[in-house]
Structures are given as C-alpha cells and as structure tokens.
Structure 1
Amino acid sequence: MQNERDAFIAGLIALAGFLKANPEIPVSLAPVILRAFPANGPDDQMRAEVDRVAALLGTEIDPDHLPYGHYMTAIDFGPVRYEFIAILAAARARHAAEDSYRGCIKIDNL
C-alpha cells in the first residue's frame, strides 16, 4: 500500500515538474479535483474515517453535500482540491435503483 501511495505522489510531483518545465504544454484552467474514498462499510464507520481525515487536514465536514448522502471534507491548494468522501448507504441504494433502468428506455430516432 505504501509503495502505491509513494508511486502516486511521485507521479504527481513528476507531472507538476514536467508542466513547470514545459510552459507551452496547455493545462486546464478549471479546478482539478482529487477524490479519495473510505472502504465501503457501515455508515458510522465510513463517517468516522472521514472525521479522522478531516482532523488530519484541519477541515470541517461539508454540510452542502449531506442532503445527497455524501459525507465529505475537502482542502484546497489554489485551483487543486483534495476531497475525501463517504457515499452513505441510502445514496448508494438510490444510485443503484436509478441505474437499474439504464438501457431500458429507448428513444425513437425522428
């Protein structure tokens, strides 16, 4: 696990160095978001993991996402944002139900 983490961080640093050394390479002016998730489990365990990460980041839980069943915290580094999100059981079930209709509805070509 640590080797994967180290490789990921090294890749980010290499990309940043490459872009810095090659200013002619275009980059997005839109925000860049890196999302990470706790392992799926009971809601209370996933919320506890997000709370733990929020404490490490020195951030709060984002109340704007609670109505959607996303328990999250985030920190910004300029236009780069790190989010740690638990998608709670009701939101996962709602998504699965909505997704169960995928491919069932056919639109006639006019």
Structure 2
Amino acid sequence: MPPEIAPLGLRVLLVEDDEGVRRSLQLLLEWSGFEVRAHALAASVMALKREMLAGVHLLVSDYFLEDGDGIALLQSLRAAGWQGRAVLITAEPTPMLIDRARAAGFHAILEKPLAKHELIKALTE
C-alpha cells in the first residue's frame, strides 16, 4: 500500500524522453500517492485536449527533450491557460538555465540524479 504523501487525486504530468528515467519517476510518484500521466515527447503533451490538461495539477519535465525543451513546453502550457505548479529536472542546472526556468514559471529546478525527497518536496510544499 503506498504511503499517504500526496493528497488524493493530485495529478502529475511527467515528461521525460529517457524511458528508464521516465518509468522510475512514474513508479516513485505513483508509490507516493500521485496519479501520473507520463509522456516521452512535448508534442504528445501539447496534443492533449484542454479538458485533460485542466485536470492536471503538476508538471515534472526534463529540460532536454527529444522534440524540444521543458521551458518551451511550460511556456506553451501557460499560453494554453494551464496554471499548475511545475518542476524542471536537468543534468546541467547552469545559472542561466535556472534563471530562464524561473522566469518561465518553474517552481523548482532539480538536478539529476534526483533524490526522492527533493522531488516529492518540490511537488507538495
């Protein structure tokens, strides 16, 4: 039985193009009580209908994606009216990238490899 970390019904949109990392993060989040919708490409997220996005509370996105980047993805989601909390994950958190991510509206920028508690804290606090 998963621990009661996430409030019931809290939905996460996970965007990570590395299949192993995506699956690991999905399992971690589900085990922590989140409902997770995982995608490998930014384009598949942008193809979601507005009603489906309205039910998503949180975004966890990798910076480098096969078809773009996490910052551009969040900017597109914001332009479409999505207002949830966003967390960017990256292997290279340079000061310039951190500034760009914060300006785009990311709540937190986390460095890979991720510590479980950092991701959960960024999503719940």
What's the TM-score, normalizing by structure 1?
0.26
Query: Larger strand proportion, structure 1 or 2?
Result: 2
Query: Larger helix proportion, structure 1 or 2?
Result: 1
What's the TM-score, normalizing by structure 2?
0.24
